[in-house]
Amino acid sequence: MKHPARPATTPPTLPEWDPAWSRIVTAATADGPHDFHVLDTLSALRAEGLEPAGTILALHGNPTWSYLWRRLAAATLASARAGGRAWRLIAPDQLDMGFSERLPHAGLPTPSGAEVRRISQRIADFDAVVTPLLAEATGGAEAAAVTSASGAADSADHPVVTIGHDWGGVLSLGWAARNRDWVDAAISLNTAVHQPENAPIPAPLRATLAGPMLPTATVVTDGFLRVTLRLGDLDPQVRAAFRAPYESADLRHGIGGFVADIPVDETHPSYAELQRIGEDIAAFDRPALLVWGPKDPVFLERYLRDLRQRLPQADVHRFELGSHLVSEDFDVPGLVLDWLDVQFPAEGRSSGDAPAPVGASPTAARPVTAILDARRDDETIASVDFSKDPAQQITWRHLWHVTTAIAHGLRDLGVRPGDRVSMLVPPGNNLTAALYACLKIGAVAVVADAGLGPRGMTRAVTSADPQWIIGELPGLGLARAFGWPGRRISVSPLGPVQRRIVAAETSLTELARTPIFGDPPTPGPDDDAAILFTSGSTGPAKGVRYTHGDIAALAAVLTDVFDVREGTGLVAGFPPFALLGPAIGATSVTPDMSVTKPKTLTATAIAEAIIAGSATMVFASPAAYRNVAATAGELDAAQRAACAGVELVLSAGAPVPLELMESIAEVFPNAAIHSPYGMTEGLLLTDIDSAGVAAAAAGDDLGVCVGTPIDGVELALAPIDGDGTAAEELLQGTAAQGRLGEFVVSAAHLRSGYDNLWRTTADAGRDRLGGLSWHRTNDIGHIDDEGRVWLEGRLQHVVTTPLGPVGPGGLEALIDTDPEVRRSAVVGTGPVGTQALVAVLDAEGTALSPGLAPLDLTARLRALVAETGQDLAAVLVAPSFPTDIRHNSKIDRSRLAEWAETVLTGDGVPRRV
């Protein structure tokens, strides 16, 4: 089959494409002059009266073309119009691809075929096109950037940045690395540099590369093209636009040739060149950004891991639900421009304005392991674990010896400072030993709650990319079944068969026998200590980074705010705080319960834990306390006396209603009962006691009162606009009172950032006020005249009515007071800014039937809501409420809103939400 040459041309009319971006450029390539179609925004900038102040060089992969960068082109122009840096985008179509020239071919492509255009030629082609374009006369700025010997001085005014995707990612990175004298930064979306020898080629490529399948799937038919375009949620018109340059077999030779040039082993003609490119990329020392869609079936996690090792300075942002065409489904252009704005600030903004970690870790805070190390000869009880039968108690001396021996054993095994260690161990003595051993040698603990479920845990652990896994047998089995990364260590010794099945190299028991010689170097306060994953109730779970300084500051908060001193007995039924005992010198007791099922904590279990640890302090979740109160009648006299000796009861995880506080007070009659408010990013932010809850309940504020900020926490409010977004302006003091807004906090014990989520970290920490760094919590509500915080929901659940934005939580608390209502959710239906308020009631546990609520109930609830000045458009009853699998109180309001829309448009009542 002969494929004739075809000239370059410009695209037809396509969605989201401006014809002014197209130009045909003749470039002097190594095999003669060739014509390239190029997306170039220079003329569009000049039409706006703007000259470029920076250039982005973009390269597509296979089988896309420069249409892939249309949204980046539009975003750069919009940003320039708004006063940002005027970035010029240059994105050529590679030869034989897009609307560039088609070369003559005698037959179909094969991996060893002489007519296949190799990656070395493609990098040379890219250079041949972009270098003359950069050197065009544009006031001299771009020419200076190209011809400068050092690059550094001139590029401050006109930076040059590369970006690529798929094979365009590795090619653009290679080109940038070979031109790093004047390339200032590099960005890549999903791509690969190195194929590990011990890992198979990804299945989709393996099938395409198999013998006659290659030309059939890529050239003779458009199968490869169609499959690739299904890796994104594309509008049919957009999908057709991507296919436009490849309508016939003679136009698809480049697709097949690109696949044929994938160097699968060292016998391939391009193998040596790809190795050289990889070495060059490893020498690139300029800023870099890696954008990743983890659901990509071709560019797998191992390729991102390899890139991060070659580019250790790179920032990373993972769109956890993104696949291969990540830029089609997520705001990659916005991410790119935000990142570039930090690297190359526009005039009037200094690089010092870049987002920074929230709160500085206090330099005076003692190391996390300081108390444990100081009590190495103390024979008093440090920890009691009721998850064991019989209960297991260990002394401070024993705990120090075990953690130190395991630390030495881990180091001998190859664990290094900064290595990530996934902890698949339930709270108790074993987890405490593993965690503090890691903290001693500077390894980073990765903690993903089992309540996320196998799929959620897989997503979390994979995103953290641990080098090691420590686990009980069920956790190791899960890791093996789902292919989690990391070398495996079991908690207890395993038999040869089990050890082989889960690929465990050793056990904590064996490591605890390691001889102790000297003390490991103490990690610094800014070194990472832990990655804690959020609940995932409002999207994929996020890894929250805590440094040693952050954890030390959190321990100091417990000590200062709640007077938790060395020797205090602490019953920890709330997992995050079960691990802080050794850091604060408290005797920590893990009660007999399932950590993923807090309702399994009974009054008897908590009383036995109190007795074992001589505890005066109890920490658990509201769900756990409900069952404790419900089973209090089972306590004997000794157990009731132990509960009466408790001085402080803390509850976290969700606000505690007054009726539950009253029930708790019956079990712990002499205790001060507090309900701190916090989140994974900041475990302790505000506090309220039972008297405060009672006083708040006597007022008429809407929402759930969580008290006032604790010492060391600064609070501000970002008012919510009519479209439901939080303003950039931060208000404090009386200016913030009485307004609906997003809570923004600053404290030394907050997280240092999100793991592999550059954009999320930047967005959450973008504010500057009073010389402090702040964290946007995503929680909304108001501050009353007494400075108390009232929660009214999450930012993404704001209802934008014609009367203004409404936080659902406030109205829900009001609606839930009706005796017929078990649980409610307030959602909005209709266009943003004119949404109607709809109350959805939970049918479970009630006599209500799914559909429209009874007329009398609807009338009562509408009258109740009308007293707040709002109009309730409808009251519906859902068959059940979709909730987060761990937090039954966290309702999926987005799904309820979709369900409500279906009911109100007359499409019937769906049986499921």
The pLDDT of residue 869: 92
Q: Are residues 204 and 75 in the same domain?
A: yes
CA distances for 690 relative to 484, 629, 676, 757, 788, angstroms: 44, 16, 11, 38, 14
| Residue 912, domain member (yes or no) | no
Token pair of 564 as six digits: 């938790």
Q: pLDDT tens digits for 691-750?
A: 999 999 888 899 999 999 999 999 999 999 999 999 999 999 999 999 999 999 999 999
The pLDDT of residue 330: 96
| Residue 752, domain member (yes or no) | yes
At residue 654 the predicted structure's pLDDT band, cuts being 50, 70 and 90, is confident
The pLDDT of residue 573: 82
Q: Are residues 248 and 228 in the same domain?
A: yes
Look at the chain and report how many structural domains it folds into: 4
Q: Are residues 399 and 281 in the same domain?
A: no
Range of the domain at 805: 799-904
Q: Are residues 334 and 480 in the same domain?
A: no
The pLDDT of residue 771: 80
Token pair of 106 as six digits: 């005698």
In DSSP terms, which residues pair with 528 in a beta bridge?
547
Q: Are residues 89 and 72 in the same domain?
A: yes
| Residue 1, domain member (yes or no) | no
Q: Measured between alpha carbons, how far is 190 from 305 in angstroms, rounded to an integer?
A: 12
At residue 887 the predicted structure's pLDDT band, cuts being 50, 70 and 90, is very low
CATH code of residue 90: 3.40.50.1820
**Strands 587-590 and 381-385, how do they pair?**
parallel
Q: Are residues 82 and 52 in the same domain?
A: yes
How remote is the C-alpha of 396 from its chain's centroid? 37
Q: Measured between alpha carbons, how far is 193 from 306 in angstroms, rounded to an integer?
A: 7
Please give the average per-residue pLDDT across 513-542, as a whole number: 88
Q: Are residues 422 and 337 in the same domain?
A: no
Is the pLDDT assigned to residue 387 strictly greater than 60? Answer: yes
CA-nearest of 570, 596, 590, 592 to 581 is 570
The pLDDT of residue 147: 44
Q: Which residue has the higher pLDDT, 885 or 767?
A: 767
CATH code of residue 513: 3.40.50.980
| Residue 102, domain member (yes or no) | yes
Q: pLDDT tens digits for 117-151?
A: 999 999 999 999 999 999 874 444 444 444 443 33
Q: Are residues 64 and 194 in the same domain?
A: yes
CA-nearest of 400, 381, 380, 419 to 519 is 400
Percent of the chain at pLDDT above 70? 92
- Number of Cβ within 10 Å of residue 517's Cβ equals 6
Q: Measured between alpha carbons, how far is 191 from 300 in angstroms, rounded to an integer?
A: 9
**Strands 714-719 and 772-773, how do they pair?**
unpaired
| Residue 184, domain member (yes or no) | yes
**Phi, psi (deg, nearest 5) at residue 894:** -65, -45
Is the pLDDT assigned to residue 890 strictly greater than 90? Answer: no
| Residue 363, domain member (yes or no) | no
The pLDDT of residue 566: 85
Residue at which a domain ends, from 541, 562, 583: 562
At residue 806 the predicted structure's pLDDT band, cuts being 50, 70 and 90, is very high
3-state secondary structure of 215: helix
Is the pLDDT assigned to residue 350 strictly greater than 60? Answer: no
**Strands 315-318 and 288-292, how do they pair?**
parallel
Q: Are residues 835 and 778 in the same domain?
A: no
DSSP 366: P
The pLDDT of residue 100: 98
Asked whether the beta carbons of 146 and 135 are under 8 A apart, the reply is: yes
Q: Are residues 322 and 425 in the same domain?
A: no
At residue 773 the predicted structure's pLDDT band, cuts being 50, 70 and 90, is confident
CA-nearest of 573, 659, 677, 582 to 617 is 573
Q: Are residues 395 and 501 in the same domain?
A: yes
CA-nearest of 422, 425, 500, 423 to 462 is 422
Is the pLDDT assigned to residue 351 strictly greater than 90? Answer: no
The pLDDT of residue 207: 65
CA distances for 428 relative to 204, 450, 730, angstroms: 44, 15, 42
CATH code of residue 823: 3.30.300.30
DSSP 67: G
Asked whether the beta carbons of 357 and 765 are under 8 A apart, the reply is: yes
| Residue 101, domain member (yes or no) | yes
Cis peptide before 669 (omega within 30 of 0): no
The pLDDT of residue 353: 45
Asked whether the beta carbons of 80 and 235 are under 8 A apart, the reply is: no
**Phi, psi (deg, nearest 5) at residue 67:** -55, -25
Query: Which of 253-262, 339-348, 564-573 has maximum average pLDDT?
Result: 253-262
Residue type, 347: E
Q: Measured between alpha carbons, how far is 170 from 176 in angstroms, rounded to an integer?
A: 10
The pLDDT of residue 156: 62
Asked whether the beta carbons of 484 and 462 are under 8 A apart, the reply is: yes
Q: Measured between alpha carbons, how far is 801 from 870 in angstroms, rounded to an integer?
A: 9
How remote is the C-alpha of 743 from its chain's centroid? 20
Q: Are residues 552 and 415 in the same domain?
A: yes
Give the list of residues 6+ apart from residue 53 with CB closer than 8 angstroms, or none: 85, 86, 87, 141, 157, 158, 346
Is the pLDDT assigned to residue 411 strictly greater than 80? Answer: yes
| Residue 405, domain member (yes or no) | yes
Helices 622-630, 603-613: inter-axial angle, 10-degree rounding: 100
Please give the average per-residue pLDDT across 522-539, as a whole number: 88
Q: pLDDT tens digits for 564-588?
A: 888 889 998 876 676 788 999 999 9
In terms of DSSP H, where are the helices of 156-310? 167-178, 203-209, 213-215, 223-229, 236-243, 253-260, 271-282, 301-310
CA distances for 486 relative to 14, 423, 707, 755, angstroms: 46, 11, 43, 17
Q: pLDDT tens digits for 427-486?
A: 899 999 999 999 999 999 999 988 888 999 999 999 999 999 999 999 999 999 999 999
Q: What is the mean pLDDT of the chain?
A: 90
**Strands 392-395 and 381-385, how do they pair?**
antiparallel
In terms of DSSP H, where are the helices of 653-703? 658-667, 690-697
Residue type, 823: R
Q: Measured between alpha carbons, how far is 489 from 566 in angstroms, rounded to an integer?
A: 32
**Strands 288-292 and 543-547, how do they pair?**
unpaired
Please give the average per-residue pLDDT across 850-865, as a whole number: 95
Residue at which a domain ends, from 532, 562, 592: 562
Is the pLDDT assigned to residue 279 strictly greater than 80? Answer: yes
3-state secondary structure of 524: coil
3-state secondary structure of 322: coil
Cis peptide before 493 (omega within 30 of 0): no
Q: Measured between alpha carbons, how far is 280 from 193 in angstroms, rounded to an integer?
A: 11
- Number of Cβ within 10 Å of residue 107's Cβ equals 13
pTM above 0.85, yes or no: yes
Please give the average per-residue pLDDT across 853-857, as a whole number: 96
The pLDDT of residue 112: 83
Residue at which a domain ends, from 767, 794, 821: 794
CA distances for 138 relative to 147, 329, 347, angstroms: 14, 34, 19
At residue 115 the predicted structure's pLDDT band, cuts being 50, 70 and 90, is confident
The pLDDT of residue 905: 86
